[in-house]
Amino acid sequence: MSRIGIIGSAGAMGQALVQAIAAAGETHAGGIDKDGDLAALVSASDVLVDFSSPAALEANLDAAVAGNVPIVVGTTGLEERHHFLVDQAAESIPVLQTGNTSLGVNMLVHLVREAALRLDESWDIEILEMHHRRKVDAPSGTALMLGAAAAEGRGIAIEHNSERGRDGITGARGRGAIGFASLRGGTVAGEHSVIMAGEDERIVLSHSAENRSIFARGAVRAAQWLTGQAPGRYDMAKVLGL
Ligand SMILES: NC(=O)C1=CN([C@@H]2O[C@H](COP(=O)(O)OP(=O)(O)OC[C@H]3O[C@@H](n4cnc5c(N)ncnc54)[C@H](OP(=O)(O)O)[C@@H]3O)[C@@H](O)[C@H]2O)C=CC1
Ligand SMILES: O=C(O)C1=N[C@H](C(=O)O)C[C@H](O)C1
């Protein structure tokens, strides 16, 4: 049994996590939000789960390293500098970073990589996501994971082959590009579609989150798995054996 500490505890994911920890028979070590006592939470925890804000990431990783406690980073909206910080922390402690903790999305990531490996550049890949009106980052972390998987399958660098935020006279779509589009509204927990559009035909691979419990269950599974791992950077594929 592990003591799981929550960063971002009063938030939508933090609250879903409290329920998932109890359902899994684990111990809720406590939680913090902005201005909470991070050091005390680290001392009380065997493993941390962070669903807060990119602005909090550096302090969270530093505290986890100082306390030698593994951390699951589920926060999205991360930039290159945040990924660098994750890599640095992973030299000392186990860190699992993912834009989506659900089994279904991680299976979708796998399927997208496989499809992109087999389809040539004449198939245009577009990623469409929709989330609730409160979401602050776009494209979603999941959309970025799906784009990265498509690029990996295709053997191209996503940094040089993305089309994001089209507006106005954008010119025709680039051959081989991976496009992203984001919708926001209502209470949608998370919808992702990867559209592969070829000549006169289309393949659509998609996932619908019916509620946040799928992310919370996945985060608890990740926290359980991460406890006892060697220092390093991990993802959900390792946890789920995909
Ligand atoms: N990887 C995954 O599977 C999933 C990832 N997410 C991601 O998780 C994050 C949180 O989502 P959600 O719960 O919907 O967001 P909410 O806005 O509902 O919750 C965020 C929480 O984080 C807290 N917080 C903000 N800044 C800090 C800080 N510096 N230190 C500690 N806590 C802080 C907020 O507290 P306060 O109100 O005091 O600011 C708030 O309680 C987002 O990045 C989202 O995209 C969401 C679902 C699944
Ligand atoms: O903010 C959310 O709610 C979600 N965020 C994650 C993302 O950015 O992909 C995961 C999930 O889709 C819900």
Strands 201-208 and 71-73: unpaired
Q: In the sheet that 94-97 helps form, which strands lie side by side, from edge to edge?
A: 27-32, 3-7, 47-50, 71-73, 94-97, 232-234
Question: 239 pLDDT band (50/70/90 cuts)?
Answer: very high
Q: Tell me how far the alpha carbon of residue 7 lies from the centroid of ligand 1, in angstroms.
A: 8
Whether 242 shows a pLDDT value over 90: the answer reads: no
The helix/strand/coil state of 56 is helix
Q: How far is CA 177 from the centre of its chain?
A: 22
Strands 201-208 and 191-198: antiparallel
pTM above 0.95, yes or no: yes
Q: Tell me how far the alpha carbon of residue 166 lies from the centroid of ligand 1, in angstroms.
A: 28
Q: Mean per-residue pLDDT for 184-200?
A: 98
Does the beta carbon of 97 sit less than 6 angstroms from any atom of ligand 1?
A: no
Does ipTM come in above 0.95? yes
Whether 199 shows a pLDDT value over 90: the answer reads: yes
Q: Mean per-residue pLDDT for 154-171?
A: 96
Q: Mean per-residue pLDDT for 27-41?
A: 97
The three-state DSSP-derived secondary structure of 107-174 is HHHHHHHHHHHHCCCCCEEEEEEEECCCCCCCCCHHHHHHHHHHHHHHCCCHHHCEEECCCCCCCCCC
Asked whether the beta carbons of 215 and 222 are under 8 A apart, the reply is: no
Annotation: binding site: 8-13, 74-76, 98-101, 132, 141-142
Question: pLDDT tens digit string along 66-104?
Answer: 999 999 999 999 999 999 999 999 999 999 999 999 999
Does the beta carbon of 7 sit less than 6 angstroms from any atom of ligand 1?
A: yes
Could you tell me the two tokens for 206? 């998609």
Q: How far is CA 190 from the centre of its chain?
A: 12
Share the mean pLDDT of the chain: 97
Q: Mean per-residue pLDDT for 211-221?
A: 98
119: CB partners within 8 A, 6+ apart: 196, 198, 203
Does the beta carbon of 163 sit less than 6 angstroms from any atom of ligand 1?
A: no
Question: Atom 40 of ligand 1 has which residue's CA nearest to it?
Answer: 11
Could you tell me the two tokens for 226? 């991460």
172: CB partners within 8 A, 6+ apart: none
Cα 111 to Cα 152: distance, rounded to the nearest angstrom: 12
Determine the atom of ligand 2 nearest the C-alpha atom of 135: 1
Q: Tell me how far the alpha carbon of residue 210 lies from the centroid of ligand 2, in angstroms.
A: 12
Which of the listed residues 53, 72, 76 should we mutate to test ligand 2's pocket, taking the one with most ligand atoms within 8 A of CB? 76
Q: What does the buried/exposed string (b/e) look like for 42-51 if buried means 16 or more CB atoms within 10 Å of the residue's CB?
A: beebbbbbbb
The confidence score (pLDDT) of residue 166 equals 96
Q: Tell me how far the alpha carbon of residue 75 lies from the centroid of ligand 1, in angstroms.
A: 7
Q: How far is CA 125 from the centre of its chain?
A: 20
Question: Atom 38 of ligand 1 has which residue's CA nearest to it?
Answer: 34
Please confirm, yes or no, whether 83 is among the known catalytic residues. Answer: no
Q: Mean per-residue pLDDT for 120-131?
A: 98
Please confirm, yes or no, whether 135 is among the known catalytic residues. Answer: yes
Instruction: Point out the catalytic residue in the list 135, 160, 192, 238.
Output: 135
Q: Mean per-residue pLDDT for 165-185?
A: 97
Does the beta carbon of 34 sit less than 6 angstroms from any atom of ligand 1?
A: yes
Whether 134 shows a pLDDT value over 90: the answer reads: yes
Domains of the chain (ranges, CATH numbers): 3-101+212-240 (3.40.50.720), 103-208 (3.30.360.10)
Please classify residue 202 by burial: count the beta carbons closer than 10 Å to its beta carbon, then call 0-12 exposed, 13-18 middle and 19+ buried.
exposed
The confidence score (pLDDT) of residue 1 equals 81
Residues in the chain: 242
Q: Mean per-residue pLDDT for 39-64?
A: 98
